[in-house]
Amino acid sequence: MSETAAKIIDGKVHAERVRSRVADEVARLRADYGLQPGLAVVLVGEDPASQIYVRSKGEHSLAVGMHSVTHRLPADASQHELLRLVGELNADPAIHGILVQLPLPKHLDEQAVIAAISPDKDVDGLHVVNAGRLANGVPALIPCTPLGSMILLRETVGDLTGLNAVVVGRSVLVGRPMAQLLLQADCTVTIAHSRTRDLQAVCRQADILVAAVGRPRMIRGDWIKPGAAVIDVGINRVPFDDPVKAAAGRTKVVGDVNFKEAAQVAGWITPAPGGVGLMTVAVLLQNTLTAAKRIAGLD
């Protein structure tokens, strides 16, 4: 790997490639089989960030030629109402992917809702059946952010065989599935976390470092092996460095990696924003396409 300043991994470019491939395949399925992949997104409550995410998912699914529906429930919707809607979507032949936007209001049981989604339509990849399939190395619907991160690695670094990979974070949404994907790519994988002894030394061994810990700019430049590929999954809101903007309560998004320091050491690095986050919706579309093909017996 190069020891020069890092090459920036542009998430926008890679996401556009994924969406283009999905759009071409959706058009082929519609022409050859009369099959239009369908995505249903469920939003409970009025959380502003969730509303933005849901609108973006709907717009992107329509743009690639998919059938797209959004179901909005009030913030005080009951567990029974939400589970009934999920059951209806499970039974709907026009819907191949179901995504319940998280987080849910506190009175709702997220795990029960995820468990109620058909594993074959679980395009978030959070159902325990899909987690088990991934762990066993058999076809599964994989969480979007780890899968998007792997696409970035394969399209930039190339062959990952034999590389040392360190994943900082052990969540079921990112850290654990990311480790499974790297293992399947024949990497030697370490999962690190808040209890890891001498975390800096562990990170410095990594040819591939994935930061998914949820702490702004925690990974410093001297934690990184020269020439390593750094995938920053973090999305953290912090006050602006400008005191005037900070005093006005304005915030900006930063990753889990100190980008300025890391970019001087790494071989490749994703910015935040502009990196992994842009891949997440693109991979959601890819997962919906995959689900539609498998349900139809075409994959």
Annotated catalytic sites, by residue? Answer: 57, 101, 124
For residue 218, give every residue at least 6 positions away whose Cβ sits within 8 Å of its Cβ, in sequence order, or none. Answer: 211, 256, 257, 258
For residue 73, give every residue at least 6 positions away whose Cβ sits within 8 Å of its Cβ, in sequence order, or none. Answer: 42, 43, 44, 45, 81, 82, 85
Q: What is the DSSP letter of 132?
A: H
Phi, psi of 223 (to 5 degrees): -90, -10
| 3-state SS class at 96 | coil
From the list 75, 153, 60, the residue with the least C-alpha distance to 108 is: 75
What is each CA distance from 121 to 10, 97, 201, 247, in whole angstroms? 30, 4, 41, 45
